[in-house]
Amino acid sequence: MFQLSFLNAGLLIFAAATVLPLIIWLLAKKKPPRLLFSSLKFIKLSQQQEKSRTRITNIILLIIRMLIILLIALAVARPMLSSSRFAKSDKHPPTALAIVLDTSYSMDYVEERQTRIDKALAAIKSINAQATEADRLILISRDAPWNDLHAQIYAGAIPEEILYSVALSWQALSWEETFAFAEAKLAESQMPNREIYLLSDFVNEDIAVKSQYPIAAIPISELESRQNLSVSEARPLPQIVGRGKQQTIEFRLTNHGDQDRDEILIQAVLDEIKVAEKFVSIPARQSQKEEMVFEIRSEGWQSGYIEVLDEHLAADNRAYFAFEYFQHPRVAVIGTQPLPLHLSSILQVYTGGRKPDLIHPSNLNLQILDDYKLFIFYEFGEMTPRLREMVAELDARQTGSLFCLGQSLAPDSKSFLNQRFSLNLGERKQSAISIDFISPHHHPSALIADKDLRFAQVSAFWQSTAHSSSMISAAQYPLAVSSPKSALWLWDISAPSAFFADPAFAVFAYRQFSALQSANVPMAELKVGDSISASELMLPSLDKLSLAYPQYLSREPGIYVVNPSLENPAKIAVNIEYNDSDPTKVEPQTKIKMLSEDFTHEIFMSRLGRDLWKLLLAIALALMILEIIIVKSMEHKSLYRSDK
């Protein structure tokens, strides 16, 4: 069985130029002028015979020229003739290998005192030892920036310094993207024999891709059962009663393995100092919420992590947190009426016993902005130019603002809020509605997202269209929405709603104040791959970046410091998605040959075919010589006849 393929199939389009000699011959063909002579029977017969011979010769030349163009076009396209009948050789032919290394964090799992990614790198070194100078090797990870720098075509072997630079990919490329990149690199190699070798633990992800090249998987581990602990969702709890310097961090501990775990050590680290630790037990395949309490030693930004000491998989052992702490933050209420009692009492707890200051809109000036950490707008009347100027200055200074709606809302204030929060505010609706959605992704609402509300009814609210940044909603009506520097509550805070008596409201309001106090950080809890707004940034690695465009896509978990040159720079916690924490081995849907543990004798085995381009060029050259011989022969005969 023979099969023909082309390395540069796209260049076959030039084969269309084969018809050019035919087109030229047809267009250049002219009918000779008719001349009348006396009856010369033998001369006429001779001319007809000569004309017939010339026509045959011209047709042969035309075919030769068309074949020359066709053969050259085919040679450029690099045809390969493959067959199972070709003899095998002990010495492997020159081959291009794309080595696809799975760098998702499940590959960091430790077994037999070695991570799976270390085992994969050892296998790559074995491939290096088998390669010759005629081979071309390409190492491809699942990290796009790493590939841009290091996924080059190397002659003979992949340099060891490249192997040492391999790191985990916290936001791994999809398998489709990874294999597409591998195929593109193999096409660049211009090698007749090309193979793809995959090194992966096949955890949690279906590999369902099609490739024109053979794919073989090199075994990394045969271990089916994995034991793993992870810690996630580390969140500071609000101190609703008795605000002091003690802080409680709530987090989730998960046992992903099939064995019970006892006496697990968990520790809390604040600003690189261990501040608390405890031992816990957790059954197999269970997840439970835990708390740790420690003392805050200074005001300002606090950051750290909760860590479980688990030797199997270190990548998901930490959950990072960051928050701003002031024991007595000052709050200003901008409006004509004091806040309702249920909200002012929560504010009094938040400020450590200090009542919020009520400031009439007519008494506003920019000098008061430095005196307060948070501004609440309630029953503020018309949106005057002075109010607009103040809100703009709050945004510029990264000071948070909360807009609480009451019984009345001036038309220009409604227009201002529509523009600020991308809403379409309607009329105040005085009818009971039950909360049916609480977002788990926003900082203020995350703690109550999985709680059952005792009282979920809101008796009056301002109607609006659905909003993508809704923290709380009911029957698709948003009741609390956020923007980068402020928030809007659409329920009537002055109405006697049952929800205001629920403990969840106190927690939500407290965390809303806390989030707005730090208005220069995102309200949503960030994951790797989310955007951070800053002109200057310190990464978890302590490297500093000056950003021409004030947006940075986080690429690793940890604590990011926003504008570190400021006196009290904000800190942002970024965590992973925990996709690979629960180990489930998935059989790939793609046709992949599984190699044995002793795989070294099974690689470099492709016999994709024999390269025919040299043969085609040789035939084209022979045809060109034949054409020259025919043309010269015709010229010689023509001269001979003229002399005669």
Residues 140-186: tens digit of each pLDDT: 999 999 999 999 999 989 999 999 999 999 989 999 999 999 999 99
Q: What is the pLDDT of residues 378-419, one digit of tens each?
A: 999 999 999 999 999 988 887 889 999 999 999 999 999 999
Confirm whether pTM is higher than 0.75. no
Q: Are residues 60 and 170 in the same domain?
A: no
Q: Are residues 367 and 498 in the same domain?
A: yes
Separation of alpha carbons 137 and 453, rounded Å: 60
Question: How confident is the model at residue 134, as a pLDDT?
Answer: 87
Q: Is the pLDDT of residue 540 over 60?
A: yes
Q: Are residues 338 and 421 in the same domain?
A: yes
Q: Is the pLDDT of residue 8 over 70?
A: no
Residue holding tokens 């923290």?
471
C-alpha torsion sign, points 627, 629, 632, 634: negative
Give the model's confidence band at 366: pLDDT under 50 very low, under 70 low, under 90 confident, else very high: confident
Domain-located, residue 407 = yes
Q: Are residues 366 and 403 in the same domain?
A: yes
| Nearest residue to 288 via CA among 305, 266, 315 | 266
Question: How confident is the model at residue 223, as a pLDDT?
Answer: 64
Domain-located, residue 308 = no
| Nearest residue to 501 via CA among 447, 436, 435, 455 | 455
The last residue of a domain, from among 496, 517, 538: 517
| Secondary structure of 51-77 in HEC code, one letter for each residue | HHHHHHHHHHHHHHHHHHHHHHHHHHC
DSSP annotation of 161:
H
Domain-located, residue 485 = yes
Domain-located, residue 292 = no
Q: Are residues 78 and 163 in the same domain?
A: no
Give the model's confidence band at 439: pLDDT under 50 very low, under 70 low, under 90 confident, else very high: very high
Count how many domains the chain has.
3
The last residue of a domain, from among 498, 517, 536: 517
Q: What are the CA-CA distances from residue 524 to residues 55, 305, 410, 436, 512 (Å)?
A: 84, 18, 30, 20, 11
Q: Is the pLDDT of residue 64 over 90?
A: no
CATH number of the domain encompassing residue 192: 3.40.50.410
Q: Are residues 55 and 124 in the same domain?
A: no
Q: Are residues 219 and 140 in the same domain?
A: yes
Which pair of tokens denotes residue 291? 């708390």
Which pair of tokens denotes residue 136? 């071309």
Contact of 323 with 239, CB cutoff 8 Å? no
Q: Are residues 82 and 162 in the same domain?
A: no
Q: Are residues 57 and 128 in the same domain?
A: no
Q: What are the CA-CA distances from residue 6 to residues 76, 139, 271 (Å)?
A: 9, 24, 60
DSSP annotation of 407:
S
Domain-located, residue 234 = no
Domain-located, residue 535 = no
Rg (CA), the chain: 38
- Residue 216 sits in which domain range? 95-224+584-608
Q: Give one word for 609, left, alpha or beta, with left for phi > 0 and alpha for psi -120 to 50.
A: left
- The dihedral over CA atoms of 252, 257, 260, 265, expressed in degrees to the nearest 10, equals -50
**Choice between 588 and 578, residue whose per-residue pLDDT is larger:** 578
The last residue of a domain, from among 477, 498, 517: 517
